[in-house]
Amino acid sequence: MFNHESPLRPPQFITRKVTLAFARMAMGQQAALEVGNLDVARDWGFAGDYVEGMWRMVQQEAGADYVLATGKAHTVRQLIETAAACVDLQIGWRGEGASTEGVERKSGRILVRVNPAFYRPADITLTVGNAAKAAAQLDWRPVVDFQTLIGMMIEADLARLRSGSSLA
């Protein structure tokens, strides 16, 4: 299974770090987000889709190896842009490498800063899966697309923040 995300993902993972930050920004509780490498790309899919794939696997008469993945990679930069759009913020980028900043297009306010302390020393630049065998043999395909997944995570984070939940 490639990266399978949901609103239940702990906040130390980049997907929740980003969605939680933008939910907090929308509520006036956070000024900016610090991240590492914006250009790493991951195959992020919805955990619920992957559970469906696992269920289909265990229904088979004989065990086999399958890959569950969306087959589509998105960068951390795209993750940030998508999360920002979910709370009606548009990000523009300026600078390069460790001096890159994400700026709100309307106000010019800095919303994202790259911090080299968050770079992972042995980070893989791109991970993307091929779920062709799962599609052919299990009739499995992911249903929830990337934008819907990030929107779902933002909505859950906003709900947690409004309720004062400790998971936010």
Our measurement of the distance from residue 99's CA atom to the centroid of its chain's CA atoms, rounded to an integer in Å, reads 22
pLDDT one-digit tens code per residue, 18-45: 999 999 999 999 999 999 999 999 999 9
Confidence of residue 168 (pLDDT cuts 50, 70, 90): low
With CA atoms as reference, report the closest residue to 1 among 142, 156, 149: 142
Tokens of 96: 């390069």
Q: Are 138 and 53 in contact (CB under 8 A)?
A: yes
Angle, in degrees to the nearest 10, between helices 14-26 and 76-86: 30
- The separation between the first and the last C-alpha atoms of the chain, rounded to the nearest angstrom, is 26
pLDDT one-digit tens code per residue, 102-128: 999 999 999 999 999 999 888 889 999
Per-residue model confidence (pLDDT) at position 165? 84
With CA atoms as reference, report the closest residue to 43 among 5, 83, 81: 5
Tokens of 153: 């995570």
The model carries a pTM of 0.95
Residue written as token pair 């229904």? 59
CA distance 146 to 45: 7
Q: What CATH number does the domain located at 4-89+125-159 have?
A: 3.90.25.10
CA distance 113 to 37: 10
For range 6-13, the mean pLDDT? 94
Contacts of 36 (CB under 8 A, 6+ apart): 76, 114, 115, 116, 117, 118, 119, 120, 123
CA distance 55 to 115: 40
Per-residue model confidence (pLDDT) at position 120? 85
pLDDT one-digit tens code per residue, 79-101: 999 999 999 999 999 999 899 99
Average pLDDT, the chain: 96
For range 51-57, the mean pLDDT? 98
With CA atoms as reference, report the closest residue to 93 among 85, 81, 103, 79: 103
